[in-house]
Amino acid sequence: MRMRMLALTWLLAMASLASAQHAGHVPAAVSRADLGSSAAFADDGALWAVGKQGEHVVWRVSRDFGASWSQPALVNVDPEPVAADGDSRPKIVVGKSGQLFVTWTRPLALPYTGEVRFARSLDAGKHWSAPVTVHADRQQITHRFDAMAVDRQGKLFIAWIDKRDQALAKAAGTPYHGAAIYFAVSDDDGASFRGDFKLAEHSCECCRIALLARPDTGVTALWRHVFAPNIRDHAIADLNADGSAGAIRRATFDDWAIDACPHHGPSLARDSDGTLHAVWFHLGKTAPGVSYGRLRNGAIEGQRVLGGNGAAHADIAIDGRRLLLVWKDFDGQRTWLRALRSDDAGEQWLELTLADTGDMSDQPRALMHNGRFHVFWNTRERPWQVVAVP
């Protein structure tokens, strides 16, 4: 119980720090490097990555699995505020024909407010479109923690956490738990977007959304939801290109009752049998900490805890029935990059230690290309580091 309370205290402290950073209110003495970054493989093996440099989103490419990188180049030529910490960071995905799509959050003047920004390159980074704001709603409220995915038909989906419904409830004097999830769709490689489409009300306020292309069309979303009265478990639903959404189903059943946002979003993947696998964080009644499990309708199969009391920010990648789970594990002095690999869809596991650092680090990103797993981990000691998984 003591370790659980220490973990909760650490978690809430980190959440408060991250929230304050996004709002621009962190004293210089405790501010940390803007290490938030993302990476994605193209079909030809090029590894594209984005991060923050001052008031710019910058991109780099590696053609030797991270052994060397191109010099940083600008996505947005005109400077603007860029969020790049924790679950709020620049994102990149590669389209079906090699298009590069990048999103980020631009913080606004009021605390916890922002806009979701987008730019694209159709010529391998030589030229980038002028950034646009994805959502039609332009109130100075929360539009943050964006997620992006391309479906099997090449349609681009962008989802984000949105507080317009909370603002309406506040104006009407009615209670409102959490925020909401909205999304937009592009049919023309990001030249234009349709939306804003509402997926769900009462989402957690600051945890990233996981988006995964469905086998046919559209995407599946997994997010931390606020179930009555205030249980912060996860929900899952399908998003369609016409702006409709499937039924919202409860995906995790840990019964974590907490009136705060833990800044720990989930990750989602699908194996070749169609089974959904997820990693998430909680301090609820069942296996508190970073958890893995196979998502079934109304149940979790094979749920297990990853790492120790300092484990956080897990990610997942799948190749057929082969799985890779990665997370950070802090032992009080150093942060360790840990992994579990399974070759049989999560029945048996091999535990691995991949890297470590004594300095600040971003969340790890699990990647797969051509049958090989890699982990992208941006640390202050080793920026833009790529670790090949044995």
- Residues 28-60 have pLDDT tens digits of 222 355 999 999 999 999 999 999 999 999 999
The yes-or-no verdict on residue 17 having pLDDT over 80 is no
The yes-or-no verdict on residue 20 having pLDDT over 70 is no
Amino acid at 292: Y
CATH number of 42-207+235-258: 2.120.10.10
Q: Residue 285 has what pLDDT?
A: 86
Looking at residue 169, what DSSP letter applies? H
- The CA-atom distances, in angstroms, between 150 and each of 74, 93, 96, 147, 241 are 23, 8, 8, 11, 11
Q: Binning pLDDT at 50, 70 and 90, where does residue 86 land?
A: confident
Q: Residue 19 has what pLDDT?
A: 37
For residues 303 and 18, what is the distance between their CA atoms, to the nearest angstrom?
28
Q: Residue 286 has what pLDDT?
A: 81
For residues 245 and 241, what is the distance between their CA atoms, to the nearest angstrom?
9
Average pLDDT over residues 203-208: 94
Count of Cβ atoms closer than 10 Å to residue 14 Cβ: 15
The yes-or-no verdict on residue 16 having pLDDT over 70 is no
- Residues 209-257 have pLDDT tens digits of 999 999 999 999 999 999 998 999 999 999 999 999 999 999 999 999 9
Average pLDDT over residues 87-114: 96
- Residues 280-329 have pLDDT tens digits of 999 998 888 999 999 998 899 999 999 998 999 999 999 999 999 999 99
The yes-or-no verdict on residue 184 having pLDDT over 50 is yes
95 within 8 A of 189, measured Cβ to Cβ: yes
- Percent of the chain at pLDDT > 90 equals 86
- Two structure tokens written together for 140: 């100075």
Q: Specify the DSSP element, H or E, that contains 249.
A: strand 249-250
For residues 106 and 123, what is the distance between their CA atoms, to the nearest angstrom?
25
For residues 197 and 253, what is the distance between their CA atoms, to the nearest angstrom?
27
319 within 8 A of 373, measured Cβ to Cβ: yes
